[in-house]
């Protein structure tokens, strides 16, 4: 099975549980199990090759220019983690089916679970760090949904927010580190990065990259000082805790450290940062776990401790320590998932997780007692269980490691951690299952049905079998995984057996077990001391930091984002100008390579008119009508400038746009006061004027410098000149660019244009449902109006011009592929022809003759353009690639037929529909169906008599 399919199956499977929940809980759970099971089978098909030391690779170029490839590879390390993710995932699906109550939305749960599962599989199979980062963030988001699954619990919502905040911030740091790492190696593919150890470790950027990557790994794997989020995530349902916090999510950080071990490990920086962090976490988590009364809290801190143990082993940097880390990852996943599930069974049956309200459950829950006892003894490191094997190997490796020139420091601290680990494991057994039965349980405890204890029972069976037959059962898997961790080098000698002789590790283990029993016996007095000790509360610190950060950001936001557009513009332009001044003062600007051209009298006059009009807009901008007329003058001069500079397409578009926008803005002025009020003081206006002058001078200087110089980078215009005809079938490069080379941009623009028209429609709908309509109908003009609202000459001329204008639009449309024109310009011309009818004959007259809804015209245009683009796929070409050919129909000359014409038709319809919908929306405020007065239909409602106005309203 392809690695692509293995990675995709959980995501595909996530679609079904929520849909099938109406068919029953069994159908929902079965669909989740089927997707996971198929992915697991597909993974196992690669097992023979992986255990032989081979690597399976598949790849797909996604965005090669950015170094982003959809590459997956499967080696021993990826196989180990994928096996845990999918294998334990199957057991969790079975367990959750019987654990969740009927009130819990099971379909939603399995959907979230499979989304998380797919993200984890994507992490361990990714061969590209950018792709890995995508899956990494998906785990944070999907785990947020799972941890907060019980939304009715405040602690569930709090735990989900805390987990997302901590792991999300760590993920942001990791993104920076990964990008640095890829930049050093010259590739973002992990398989390439792993071959560049010397270049990476000798780089000046090694330490920043290492720190940023480790922040991401430490936050995900709950290492000190980020360990506090994991216990609060225990508010999630037990299946989530058993899956995320024993076998998958918290192991993601360990996987990342193991994956990058060949290129990051082996330096003093790696050793002191990683090994020290792991050692502190291991000791701290073990001590805290002993004094937790909540079963899941005890297991959460024990998880923190064991994650610290594995981190410490990876941080030691030796090959044998890497082997032990891999082995303990396997062992920890088996006994910890079983323990979480057993804790869930106790909670499910006894209705409490409080250890002080439990005890004597061995009499009432014998099956659960056996499962929990074997798993706890393995966690304590008692032979002959699998936890004992990896614990002994860890202690042996620790005994040969010096820290800060001290040969005993790590051994002493590791022994203390092992002692507390044994103590909380023994407490789990003694205080929950041993002792006499009680008569005050919240509910009558009993063993659940087979469906709930089958999964932890299978895991505990593995705990025992791995302990007894580790070399045969997991030896090849450990070898393949460890070989991948150390970079494919020869593995050191090690032995997966119960007895290694009388070694320092044996003495340390005996001390830990005996010490654990002593700590259990002294638990009550030690608990009183622990309770009396002052210690920081992680949740309160986190809430205080988040609260302070929120207040700071709110203050900054209130100052910067106060709704003032002038302030936004001032900040942006000032920042841009400051950067530009810095760049100009520190950069090197070569001497001019081009000579100035002489400007004729006409361009100079037009330029002066442009300057004067722009200046007048600034001076008279508070008088809205005058400002609009001046804007029209500026647009007209720009249109003439385009034509003068041999850009007829732009000139036609600009002049058409000017006509349409000026009319629409005139209509919009009906909704606004005539004059803009003065809202800013003189000093603010002076400040803005200075900033505007600086910005204008800067842009002008940049343009002047570019016009006088040739630059080293080639212009894209050469490509368009060479390929416009042979690639797009047209000699009008502007049109070919719009409908082929950059057709996707044009497609997006007509969608935006349509959305803008719909927004105008929606806004006017909202306005016309208020008293504004009556106000607009009843207002008196402040100057004398013409008596004839519809001059006969204008009516006759516009109706005669209508077919002529539409014929011109058709002509402009069909010539656009080879001569100036096209669908956009033709659409504007056709819209102007219709606008003239509205202006001359009135809104009511024109609306009554409307045959097609403007909304539908917009939608038709977008759909035609999209269908044209999709059609390119059937020809094996990218989206919106045009096809063309030549046809000869006697007696006509040979002419071209291009699919670009269909795309242009879509543009034409979208433009016409958008313009006319905006026109209708802005002008219909003065008309309503059935009005007795034609004046109520005018596009420019003139009123001669105020009393008549009131009657019409």
The pLDDT score that the predictor gives to residue 776 is 66
C-alpha distances (whole Å) from 150 to each of 109, 141, 145, 156, 158 are 10, 16, 9, 6, 11
> Averaged over 469-494, what is the pLDDT?
88
How far CA 930 is from CA of 96, 563, 840, in Å, comes to 65, 42, 20
Max mean pLDDT range (556-565, 577-586, 939-948): 577-586
Give pLDDT tens digits for 3-42: 889 999 999 999 889 888 888 888 989 999 999 999 999 9
Model pLDDT for residues 500-511, shown as the tens digit of each residue: 778 888 889 899
With a pLDDT cut of 70, the percent of the chain lying above it is 94
- In the predicted structure, residue 898 carries a pLDDT above the cut 60: yes
The pLDDT of residue 781 is 65
Q: What is the pLDDT of residues 688-700, one digit of tens each?
A: 889 989 998 989 8
Q: Count CB atoms within 10 A of the CB of residue 714.
A: 8
Per-residue pLDDT band for 896 (boundaries 50, 70, 90) equals low
Rounded to whole angstroms, the Cα distance separating 816 from 646 reads 16
Q: How far is the C-alpha of 251 from the C-alpha of 337, rounded, in Å?
A: 13
Query: How many other C-beta atoms can be found within 10 angstroms of the C-beta atom of residue 830?
Result: 25
Bridge partners of 128, per DSSP, are: 189
Distances (CA, A) of 175 to 134, 198, 222: 10, 22, 18
pLDDT for res 568: 84
Asked if residue 303 lies in contact with residue 288, where contact means CB atoms within 8 angstroms, the answer is: no
Which segments of 241-391 are extended strands (E)?
none
Comparing 86 with 726, which gets the higher pLDDT?
86
How do residues 168-226 score in pLDDT, each as one tens digit? 999 999 999 999 999 998 888 898 999 998 899 999 999 999 999 999 999 998 898 88
Three-state DSSP class for 204? coil
Q: pLDDT band at residue 786, thresholds of 50, 70 and 90?
A: low
**pLDDT grade for 933, boundaries at 50, 70 and 90:** very low
* The pLDDT value given to residue 895: 66
Q: Which residue has the higher pLDDT, 442 or 563?
A: 442
What average pLDDT does the chain have? 86
72-74/56-58 β-pairing: antiparallel
* Tokens 């659940």, located at residue: 448
Nearest to 421 by CA among 344, 509, 359, 506: 509
Integer Cα distance of 861 and 868 in angstroms: 11
| Tens digits of residue pLDDT in 880-889 | 777 777 776 7
CA dihedral over 867, 873, 875, 879, signed as positive or negative = positive
**Alpha helix segments (H runs only) across 669-742:** 682-707, 717-728, 733-736
Work out the number of other CB atoms within 10 angstroms of the CB of residue 152: 7
Considering only residues 543 and 267, tell me which one the structure prediction assigns the higher pLDDT.
267
**Contact residues for 480 (Cβ-Cβ < 8 A; gap 6+):** 50, 51, 53, 75, 76, 79, 80
**Is 937's pLDDT higher than 50?**
no
Helix, strand, coil share (%) of the chain residues, nearest 5: 75, 5, 25
Half-sphere exposure of 352 (CA within 13 A, CB side): 15
How many whole angstroms separate alpha carbon 297 and alpha carbon 120?
Answer: 24
Q: Which DSSP category does 852 fall into?
A: S
Contact indicator for 93, 32 with CB cutoff of 8 Å = yes
Residue 338 has pLDDT above 90, yes or no: yes
Confidence class for position 339, pLDDT limits 50, 70, 90 = very high
Give 739's DSSP letter.
I
**Mean predicted confidence (pLDDT) in 912-939:** 62
Q: How far is CA 336 from CA 269, 309, 329, 379, 517, in A?
A: 31, 14, 10, 8, 21
Q: Residue range 521-541: average pLDDT? A: 84
pLDDT band at 155 (very low <50, low <70, confident <90, very high): confident
Q: Give the pLDDT of residue 822.
A: 86
Tell me: pLDDT of 536 over 80: no
Q: Which residues contact 914 (CB under 8 A, 6 or more apart)?
A: 750, 753, 754, 756, 757, 854, 858
3-class SS of residue 431:
helix
Q: What is the pLDDT of residue 908?
A: 92
Our CA angle for 826, 830, 836, nearest 5°, is 145
At 62, which helix (H) or strand (E)? strand 61-63
The residue-averaged pLDDT of 859-884 equals 85
pLDDT digits (tens, 9 = 90+) for 374-390: 999 999 999 899 989 99
pLDDT at 939: 38
Q: What is the 3-state secondary structure (H, E, C) of 526-592?
A: HHHHHHHCCCCCHHHHHHHHHHHHHHHHHHHHHHHCCCCHHHHHHHHHHHHHHHHHHHHHHCCCCCC
Domain residues of the chain, as ranges?
Answer: 265-521, 532-561, 714-953
For residue 639, give every residue at least 6 positions away whose Cβ sits within 8 Å of its Cβ, in sequence order, or none.
651, 654, 655, 658
**In Å, what is the CA distance from 905 to each residue of 855, 872, 898?**
16, 16, 12
Kindly report the backbone phi and psi dihedral angles of residue 216, in degrees, each rounded to the nearest multiple of 5, phi listed first. -60, -45
Query: Among all chains, which residue has been given the structure tokens 């069974």?
Result: 345
Residues for the chain: how many in total? 953
What pLDDT shows up at residue 670?
A: 73
Alpha helices by DSSP H, 47-153: 47-51, 76-99, 106-125, 129-147
Residue 936 has pLDDT above 50, yes or no: no
Q: How many CB atoms lie within 10 A of CB 67?
A: 17
pLDDT mean over 92-121? 91
**Binning pLDDT at 50, 70 and 90, where does residue 785 land?**
low
Mean pLDDT of the region 780-802: 77
Residue 306 and residue 266 in contact, taking contact as beta carbons nearer than 8 Å: no
String of b and e for 96-115 (b: at least 16 CB within 10 Å)? bbbbbeeeebbbebbbbbbb
As a whole number of angstroms, the distance between CA 599 and CA 594 comes to 15
CA distances in angstroms from 74 to 90, 236, 391, 873, listed in the order given:
21, 32, 28, 32
Angle at 230 between CA 229 and CA 231, to 5 degrees: 100
From CA 787, how far away is CA 501, in angstroms rounded? 114
The model's pTM is 0.71
Q: What is the pLDDT of residue 951?
A: 38
Least confident piece of the model among 25-29, 289-293, 339-343, 815-819: 815-819
Q: CA-CA distance, 884 to 735, in Å (whole number)?
A: 14
| 664 touches 837 (CB < 8 A) | no
Q: Are 147 and 240 in contact (CB under 8 A)?
A: yes
Out of 144-153, 196-205, 731-740, pick the least confident.
Answer: 731-740
Instruction: Give the gyration radius of the chain's Cα atoms.
Output: 37
CA gap 75, 53 in Å, rounded:
8
CA neighbours within 13 Å on the CB side: how many for 458?
A: 12
């Amino acid at each position: 099975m392809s690695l692509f399919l293995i990675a995709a199956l959980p995501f595909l499977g996530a679609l079904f549980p929520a849909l099938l929940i109406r068919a029953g809980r069994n159908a929902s759970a079965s669909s989740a199990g089927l997707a996971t099971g198929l992915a697991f089978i597909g993974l196992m098909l690669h097992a023979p090759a992986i255990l032989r030391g081979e690597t399976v690779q598949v790849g797909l170029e996604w965005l090669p220019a950015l170094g982003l490839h959809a590459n997956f590879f499967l080696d021993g390390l990826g196989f180990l983690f994928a096996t845990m993710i999918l294998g334990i995932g199957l057991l969790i699906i079975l367990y959750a089916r019987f654990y969740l109550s009927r009130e819990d939305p099971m379909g939603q749960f399995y959907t979230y679970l499979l989304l998380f599962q797919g993200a984890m599989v994507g992490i361990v199979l990714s061969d590209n760090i950018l792709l890995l980062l995508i899956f990494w963030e998906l785990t944070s988001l999907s785990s947020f949904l799972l941890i907060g699954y019980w939304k009715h619990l405040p602690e569930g919502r709090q735990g989900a927010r805390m987990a997302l905040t901590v792991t999300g911030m760590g993920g942001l740091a990791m993104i920076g580190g990964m990008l640095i790492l890829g930049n050093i190696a010259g590739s973002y593919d992990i398989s390439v990065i792993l071959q560049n150890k010397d270049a990476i470790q000798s780089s000046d950027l090694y330490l920043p990259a290492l720190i940023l990557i480790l922040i991401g790994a430490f936050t995900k794997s709950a290492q000190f000082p980020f360990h506090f989020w994991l216990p609060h995530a225990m508010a999630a349902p037990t299946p989530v805790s058993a899956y995320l916090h024993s076998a998958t999510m918290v192991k993601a950080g360990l996987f990342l450290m193991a994956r990058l071990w060949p290129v990051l490990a082996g330096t003093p920086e790696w050793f002191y940062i990683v090994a020290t962090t792991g050692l502190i976490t291991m000791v701290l988590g073990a001590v805290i776990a002993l004094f937790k009364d909540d079963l899941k809290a005890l297991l959460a801190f024990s998880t923190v401790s064991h994650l610290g143990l594995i981190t410490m082993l990876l941080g030691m940097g030796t090959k044998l320590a890497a082997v032990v880390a891999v082995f303990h990852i396997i062992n920890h996943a088996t006994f910890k998932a079983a323990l979480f599930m057993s804790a869930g069974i106790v909670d499910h049956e006894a209705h409490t997780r409080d250890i002080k309200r439990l005890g004597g459950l061995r009499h009432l829950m014998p099956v659960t007692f056996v499962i929990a006892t074997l798993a706890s003894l393995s966690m304590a490191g008692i032979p002959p269980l699998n936890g004992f094997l990896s614990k002994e190997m860890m202690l042996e490796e620790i005994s040969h490691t010096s820290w800060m020139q001290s040969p005993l420091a790590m051994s002493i601290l590791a022994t203390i951690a092992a002692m507390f680990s044994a103590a909380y494991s023994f407490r789990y057994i003694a205080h929950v299952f041993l002792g006499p039965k009680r008569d005050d349980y919240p509910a009558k405890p009993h063993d659940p049905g087979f469906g709930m204890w089958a999964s932890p029972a299978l895991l505990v069976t593995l705990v025992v079998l791995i302990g007894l037959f580790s070399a045969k059962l997991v030896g090849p898997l450990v070898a393949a995984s460890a070989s991948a961790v150390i970079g494919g080098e020869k593995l050191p000698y090690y032995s997966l057996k119960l007895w290694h002789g009388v070694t320092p590790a044996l003495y340390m283990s005996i001390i830990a077990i005996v010490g654990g029993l002593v700590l259990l016996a002294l638990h009550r007095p030690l608990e009183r001391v622990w309770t009396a000790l002052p210690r920081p509360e992680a949740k309160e610190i986190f809430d205080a930091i988040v609260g302070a950060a929120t207040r700071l950001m709110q203050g900054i936001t209130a100052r910067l984002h106060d709704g003032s557009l002038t302030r936004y513009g001032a900040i942006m332009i000032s920042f841009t100008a400051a950067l530009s001044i810095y760049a100009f003062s520190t950069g090197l600007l070569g001497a001019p390579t081009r000579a100035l051209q002489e400007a004729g009298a006409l361009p100079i006059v037009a330029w002066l008119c442009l300057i004067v009009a722009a200046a007048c807009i600034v001076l008279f901008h508070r008088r809205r009508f005058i400002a609009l007329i001046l804007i029209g003058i500026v647009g007209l001069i720009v249109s003439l400038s385009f034509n003068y500079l041999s850009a007829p397409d732009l000139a036609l578009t600009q002049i058409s746009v000017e006509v349409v926008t000026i009319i629409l803005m005139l209509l919009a002025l009906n909704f606004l006061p005539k004059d803009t009020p003065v809202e800013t003081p003189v000093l603010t206006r002076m400040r803005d004027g200075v900033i505007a002058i600086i910005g204008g001078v800067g842009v002008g200087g940049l343009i002047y410098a570019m016009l006088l110089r040739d630059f080293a980078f080639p212009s894209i215009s050469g490509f368009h000149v060479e390929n416009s005809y042979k690639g797009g079938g047209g000699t009008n490069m502007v049109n070919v660019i719009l409908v082929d080379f950059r057709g996707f941009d044009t497609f997006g623009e007509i969608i935006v244009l349509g959305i803008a028209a719909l927004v105008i429609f929606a806004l006017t709908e909202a306005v016309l449902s208020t008293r504004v309509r009556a106000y607009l109908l009843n207002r008196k003009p402040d100057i004398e109006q013409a008596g004839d609202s519809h001059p006969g000459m204008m009516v006759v001329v516009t109706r005669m011009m209508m077919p002529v204008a539409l014929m011109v639009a058709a002509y402009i449309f069909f010539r656009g592929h080879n001569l100036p024109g096209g669908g956009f310009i033709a659409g504007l011309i056709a819209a102007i022809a219709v606008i003239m009818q509205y202006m001359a004959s009135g809104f009511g007259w024109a609306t009554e003759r409307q045959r097609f809804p403007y909304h539908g015209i917009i939608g038709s245009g977008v759909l035609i353009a999209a269908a044209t683009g999709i059609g390119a796929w059937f020809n094996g070409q990218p989206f919106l690639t045009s096809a063309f050919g030549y046809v000869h129909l006697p007696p006509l000359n040979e002419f071209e037929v291009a699919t670009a014409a269909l795309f242009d038709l879509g543009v034409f319809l979208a433009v016409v529909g958008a313009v006319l919908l905006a026109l209708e929306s802005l002008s219909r405020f003065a008309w309503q169906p059935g009005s007795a007065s034609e004046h109520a239909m005018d596009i420019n409602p003139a009123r001669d008599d105020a009393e008549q106005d009131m009657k019409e309203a």
